[in-house]
Amino acid sequence: MRHGVRPCCSLVRAFGWVSGLGLLACGSRAEPTPVVLPEALDVTGPRLECLVDEDCEPRDLCHPQRCVDERCIEERVECVDADPCTRDGCDSATGRCDFVPLTADEDADGYRRPLPGFQPGELGSCGDDCNDSSPLASPGGDERCDGLDNDCDGIVDNGALFTTREAPPILLSDGAEQGSPGGITFSDGAGVYGAVFTQRLGASQSTFRTIAPREGGAGPAVPVAEVNNDTFAGPIVGRGSVFATAWEDRRDDDYEIYFNRFNTRGEKLAPDLRVSNAAGFSLRPSLLELPTATSREYLLSWEDERDGGGGRIYGQRIDGSGSPLAGNLELTPVGLDPSSPNIVAGTTRIGLLFNQAASEGRGLGFTSFDFQFGDPGSIVNVDAENPDAATITANGGRFVVAWHVVLGDSRPGSQIWGTVLSETGEPLVPTKPLTRAAEFARYHSLVPLGDRLILFWSEWRGSTYAIYSRELTPDLDALDEARLVTSDGEEAYAPLAAFGPQGEIGVLFTGRPGNVGQPQVLFTSISCDSGPDFSLPR
Ligand SMILES: [Ca+2]
Ligand SMILES: [Ca+2]
Ligand SMILES: [Ca+2]
Ligand SMILES: [Ca+2]
């Protein structure tokens, strides 16, 4: 008996077979007995399977069978909608065509996100939502002060003006002997910042806290890792109501890289993920979150000693639920003596910046990858002499690299420096100073707006460091003078900046309130004011 052909009542009726031949009467129920097929009788001539279509039993409804010349012929439901942005398929339970969009509309604003590596709305992108985690951003939306590109023209808060706020800074490492910032991000779903910082409470402890400046301050301080050992805060990313951070600790003797996700109450969503597990230290993680076509993914990089010879930069992909995708990936060759990697997502490439050995002293190296850490580009030497605390920022389809200089006697130089690269590393804007010469300048943070960037940095004027900001063109020319962000005469340095809920830019920094005691971690912000370009002023 051929698969898919049933001994059907229509055959019984047609040939008048009876139960003596082993067939049961239609509708009767009895113990199974061997079924004798027509060909066994050799009375029907050529093998016969069916008289009508109903005699043929399809395997699934997407492969119906028809009776043609007394044989069951399988057919196929063709499902083609000629739309390259759908996956065409047939539902075998119903036999109906399914045309599943390749890209998600997670924020349910009616606009889909583009495929990874495509700009929103680009030919073949399958989506034109420039921010699929916010329904307040979509093509044709109304621009407002909120840190988002509401109208998807590639520019955040078009024409907005930023001013220093009068509110006093919020002390985050209260009760600790000492603190230093790790990272700050903003969760649009929860409307709060997420910050991680290291505070010294006997041992060094990576600590997570939410900050809601307008609701009066910070959430409870939560240890990132509950281990009886030093942990050091790393970067943090956030989207929706999920924050993710990576850090290093030595719970297993050797410093390794760990990763975990938190909700906005600071509760861990899973056990800590140990990302690296090899001889030698693994240090200084850099983390970013990427939308995929229908979900999200995390990319991590760090410096790793496992291969000797000065080590190399390793990377790891982690899926949206926090599980590793394959193993650790070698991102640089051995021999560059690389350290302090920074990864960033551009429009078509992932950029990797790292400190490396130079013919004299230290320099900066750059390379790029596709969005899965594949297709590595060549290693490019960035024009930077003895840089420290270098960053890489995606702005308008290009990468901005900035740093401060370390002089021969280890003191910082007098300015913050920067250059602009294409997403594959070609120099587009030559290295230039981003700030006027001060006695010393060190540490900075850049917030990209698409048509400009806002630089935060610390410089020494008179008797102490303070934090300043200014706006830069995409080619890194100053748009305005430096403005003081922190209190005049009060020590403040090492700013880390991120957009916040009302378009203000939050700044996590190291400071000594009243210039007394050990350095602590504080938060302040600058406000966004609607400029004349706003169609919907706040
Ligand atoms: Ca959307
Ligand atoms: Ca959107
Ligand atoms: Ca815009
Ligand atoms: Ca906006």
| pLDDT score recorded for residue 493 | 97
Distance 107 CA to ligand 2 centre (A): 6
Reported as a single tens digit per residue, the pLDDT across 216-251 is: 789 999 999 888 888 999 999 998 889 999 999 888
The pLDDT of residue 25: 34
Question: Which residues are within 8 A (CB) of 208 and not within 5 positions of it... i.e. 6 or more apart?
Answer: 194, 195, 196, 221, 222, 223, 224, 236, 243, 245, 262, 266
Instruction: Please tell me the distance between residue 150's alpha carbon and the centre of ligand 2 in angstroms.
Output: 8
Taking all residues of the chain, what is their mean pLDDT, rounded to a whole number?
A: 88
Backbone phi and psi for residue 15, each to the nearest 5 degrees, phi listed first: -105, -5
For 474, the token pair is 């995409």
Determine the distance separating the centroid of ligand 2 and the alpha carbon of 346, expressed in angstroms: 18
CA of 159 to the centre of ligand 3 (A): 9
Cβ count near 323 (within 10 Å):
10
Q: Which ligand is nearest to the Cα of residue 158, counting in written order? A: 3
Nearest to 166 by CA among 526, 530, 531: 526
Are 341 and 354 a contacting pair, CB within 8 Å? Answer: yes
Cα separation, 334 vs 387, whole angstroms: 21
Per-residue pLDDT for 389 more than 80? Answer: yes
pLDDT, residue 175, reads 87
Query: Is the confidence at residue 12, as pLDDT, over 50?
Result: no
Tokens 């939306």 sit on residue: 141
Among all bound ligands, the one having the nearest atom to the CA of 106 is 1
Ligand that comes closest to the CA of residue 110: 1
81 alpha carbon – ligand 1 mean position (Å): 22
Residue 457: the pLDDT is 98
Nearest ligand to the C-alpha atom of residue 104: 1
> pLDDT value at position 518?
95
Q: What is the pLDDT of residues 351-385, one digit of tens each?
A: 999 999 999 899 999 999 999 999 999 999 999 99
Structure tokens at 84: 């390259």
* Cα–ligand 4 centroid distance for 536 (angstroms): 10
Share of the chain above pLDDT 90, in %: 67
Residue 102 is predicted with a pLDDT of 96
Q: E strands along 25-111, which residues?
A: 65-68, 71-74, 86-91, 96-101
What is the whole-number distance in angstroms between the Cα of residue 144 and the centre of ligand 3? 8
User: Rounded to whole angstroms, what are the CA distances from 513 to 81, 433, 464, 469, 510?
Assistant: 65, 30, 12, 20, 10
* Rg of the chain taking only CA atoms, in angstroms: 31
Please name which ligand lies nearest the alpha carbon of 137: 2
pLDDT of residue 20: 32
Where would I find the H helices in 272-328? none
Q: Nearest ligand, CA of residue 145? A: 4
152 Cα–ligand 4 center, Å: 9
User: Nearest ligand, CA of residue 501?
Assistant: 4
CA–centroid distance, 119 to ligand 1, in Å, is 14
Distance of CA 150 from the midpoint of ligand 1 (Å): 12
**Rounded CA separation 55/76 (Å):** 17
